[in-house]
Amino acid sequence: MSRRVTTRDDIAAVIALYKANHVLREISAQTGVALRVVQNLVKRFRDLGEDELPAPLPKSGRPKLLSPRTLKVISRQVRSSPSLTAREVKERNPCLLSHVSLRCVQQALHDDLEFKSFRARRKPLLTKRQKENRVKFCKKYEVWDLETWRSVLWSDEATASSTLFFCSSVLSCLDFLVFGVVNDVVAGLLDIVAMVDARGRRR
């Protein structure tokens, strides 16, 4: 099926076949470009002096409201913050997007920049099994008094980073895994029992 809309590649193919002394109908059949369009391209090529390819004609229809520069700015912002919505993008760029609607921004994100819209799945903070386990734990130890709970050691771990500087120069960067216990529920005392760096060495 012949096409009327031509790209630079179509124009280059048509002119290359024309230079190779192909008939216009044969050029149209090989490239898929309409015969009338092939005739116009060859005529424009001759008028230019046969030293350069004719440029594609401007497309009909309404021009785009957002320039390539604006799309590049939007793309950079969304890539740095993937959770941004179209409304937030429009509010962040009043100078660039004040003349367009929210729907236009949404279409630009989806059609021009090919960003997909996702919504986080809603799930409970605790599953049914976790709730049941917590109830079992409470029923099991509900008879304990305060003195008994004070004899329990509660342990936890956390990661931390430390950077050593000397004369504005970084000497080393260490990542630590800190283990700690709380030995008194009321006082809330924290005792660091061990520190291990990123290589597993005890500190």
Is 173 part of any domain?
yes
Instruction: Return the pLDDT at 68.
Output: 87
The overall pTM is greater than 0.85? no
- Give the closest residue to 176 by CA, choosing from 197, 200, 147: 197
Is 131 part of any domain?
no
Residue 106 domain boundaries: 68-112
Is 149 part of any domain?
yes
Instruction: Return the pLDDT at 15.
Output: 86
Per-residue pLDDT of the chain (203 residues; tens, 9 = 90+): 456 666 788 888 888 888 888 888 898 888 888 888 888 888 888 888 767 777 777 666 777 888 889 999 999 999 998 888 999 999 999 988 988 999 999 999 998 888 988 877 777 788 889 999 999 999 999 898 888 887 887 777 776 665 554 444 444 555 556 656 565 544 444 444 444 444 555 55
Please check whether residues 78 and 51 belong to one and the same domain: no
Instruction: Return the pLDDT at 202.
Output: 53
Instruction: Return the pLDDT at 30.
Output: 87
Distance CA 13, CA 142 (A): 84
Is 48 part of any domain?
yes
**What domain count does the chain have?**
3
Instruction: Return the pLDDT at 198.
Output: 45
Instruction: Return the pLDDT at 159.
Output: 67
Is 32 part of any domain?
yes
Instruction: Return the pLDDT at 163.
Output: 55
Instruction: Return the pLDDT at 91.
Output: 92
Is 49 part of any domain?
yes
Which residue has tokens 């760029």?
A: 93
Taken in order 61, 72, 9, 53, is the CA torsion positive or negative?
positive
Is 6 part of any domain?
yes
Instruction: Return the pLDDT at 21.
Output: 87
What contacts 24+ positions apart, CB below 8 Å, involve 14-20? 14/38, 14/41, 14/42, 15/41, 15/42, 15/45, 15/53, 15/54, 18/42, 18/45
Which residue has tokens 């096409």?
A: 3
